[in-house]
Amino acid sequence: MPYELDHRLVVGVAPSALFDLTESDAAFKEGLDAYRDFQDAHIDVPMPKGAAFPFVQRLLALNDLSPDDVLVEVILLAKDDAVTGLRLMNSIAHYGLRIERAVFTEGRAPYEYIPSLNICLYLSGNRSDVHKAAELGFPAGLVLGRTAPPEHETDERAGALRVAFDFDGVVADLEAQRVYDDEELPGFLAYEVEHADTPLQPGPMTQLLRALGAIQRAELTHQADDPGYVPRVRLALVTARQAPAHVRAIRTLREWDVHINDSFFLGGIEKARVLRVLRPHIVFDDQQGHLDAVAHEVAAVLVPAMPAPVSSPRPDLSSEPNLETP
């Protein structure tokens, strides 16, 4: 029987997000032959960890909830060929990451395979690739940093996976943002009060958020059987919304059956103040200005704007991965 992806949370990760490619990129600039020689000479030298490495590592660790039918699948999407990709796969094996599937598209960006592989998040450090993927309506994020941020774990946080999301333009669509741009804060707040009971349309990272929410529910099921188990997935909302606009955001998330552990309605307060304390393993925002200040401290991911739909029917979200444990 074929290996099914539809019931799993699938992430496609480019080498530039998973590893620090500073040395490899320098070799590539000298030409393809120099790049091949460099990778061959260093084939058994693990690549340094990249900005998204801690996120991917902790995400894959959640597969211990269902080891015989894993909840999470991470697929390497690389513009290498299979030969130069050997060092990538060796590095993955060195770190003990359960990444067993890879796509190598020599010289071409592999984002066109995102829908067919059921990928709900594509991470890359290549700005052009990410923007082209987003233009096609795919859930893509640009990883801003090169190296893995330092770990600052306490016993309480050990093993946890903390994921932070901006709201408008990331979790939800840009409907409210367009109102703000046209009518500024007073008009925006009035509009949100008027539409407080109308859930917003999904944004680029809705499927990822809902899939993580399904893993949270799987953790609660596991905890019912093992009372000593401490849930690890912790979701945060870090948004510039403020009261009374918070109501529509909360009701939208309830409509999607998503539980947020930590919510920050900052109303213009610098997000970095919160992110430095929260220390998420990854944070998604659609404005780079909110991320630059912390890009060396957390895995900061810029989410490009998805194209506006020609019409606005509410998407069918019933096809989200069913990640409940058996």
If asked whether residues 65 and 181 sit together in one domain, one would say no
What letter represents residue 95's amino acid?
Y
Whether residue 1 is predicted with pLDDT greater than 90 in this model: the reply is no
If asked whether residues 85 and 172 sit together in one domain, one would say no
pLDDT at 310: 38
pLDDT at 157: 60
- Identify whether 72 is part of a domain: yes
Last residue of a domain, one of 113, 143, 173: 143
Q: pTM for this structure?
A: 0.91
Whether residue 320 is predicted with pLDDT greater than 80 in this model: the reply is no
CATH code of the domain covering residue 105: 3.40.50.1000
If asked whether residues 242 and 211 sit together in one domain, one would say yes
Last residue of a domain, one of 112, 143, 174: 143
- Identify whether 95 is part of a domain: yes
If asked whether residues 67 and 185 sit together in one domain, one would say no
If asked whether residues 188 and 296 sit together in one domain, one would say yes
Whether residue 159 is predicted with pLDDT greater than 90 in this model: the reply is no
pLDDT at 316: 40
Overall number of domains in the chain: 2
pLDDT at 311: 37
Whether residue 260 is predicted with pLDDT greater than 80 in this model: the reply is yes
pLDDT at 313: 36
pLDDT at 156: 53
- Identify whether 13 is part of a domain: yes
If asked whether residues 165 and 297 sit together in one domain, one would say yes
Whether residue 326 is predicted with pLDDT greater than 60 in this model: the reply is no
If asked whether residues 232 and 171 sit together in one domain, one would say yes
If asked whether residues 114 and 223 sit together in one domain, one would say no
CA geometry: angle 112, 213, 197, nearest 5 deg: 100
Tell me the pLDDT tens digit for each residue of 120-144.
Answer: 999 999 999 999 999 999 999 999 9
Q: Give residue 5's pLDDT band: very low, low, confident or very high (50, 70, 90).
A: very high
CATH code of the domain covering residue 173: 3.40.50
pLDDT at 149: 87
- Identify whether 1 is part of a domain: no
Residue 297, Cβ neighbours under 10 Å: how many?
A: 15
Whether residue 312 is predicted with pLDDT greater than 80 in this model: the reply is no
Tell me the pLDDT tens digit for each residue of 37-84.
Answer: 999 999 999 999 999 999 999 999 999 999 999 999 999 999 999 999
pLDDT at 152: 63
pLDDT at 27: 92
- Identify whether 156 is part of a domain: no
Whether residue 190 is predicted with pLDDT greater than 50 in this model: the reply is yes
- Identify whether 148 is part of a domain: no
Whether residue 319 is predicted with pLDDT greater than 90 in this model: the reply is no
Residue 182, Cβ neighbours under 10 Å: how many?
A: 10
- Identify whether 308 is part of a domain: no
Domain membership of residue 219 as a residue range? 161-302
Mean pLDDT of the chain: 91
Tell me the pLDDT tens digit for each residue of 105-115.
Answer: 999 989 999 99
If asked whether residues 82 and 40 sit together in one domain, one would say yes
If asked whether residues 166 and 137 sit together in one domain, one would say no
Contact by Cβ (8 Å): 272, 294: yes
Q: Give residue 158's pLDDT band: very low, low, confident or very high (50, 70, 90).
A: low
Tell me the pLDDT tens digit for each residue of 279-293.
Answer: 999 999 999 999 999
Per cent of the chain over pLDDT 70 is: 92
Tell me the pLDDT tens digit for each residue of 90-104.
Answer: 999 999 999 999 999
If asked whether residues 131 and 81 sit together in one domain, one would say yes
The whole-number average pLDDT for the span 160-175 is 96
If asked whether residues 18 and 109 sit together in one domain, one would say yes
- Identify whether 311 is part of a domain: no
Q: Which residue has the tokens 């093993």?
A: 159
Tell me the pLDDT tens digit for each residue of 199-237.
Answer: 999 999 999 999 999 999 999 999 999 999 999 999 999
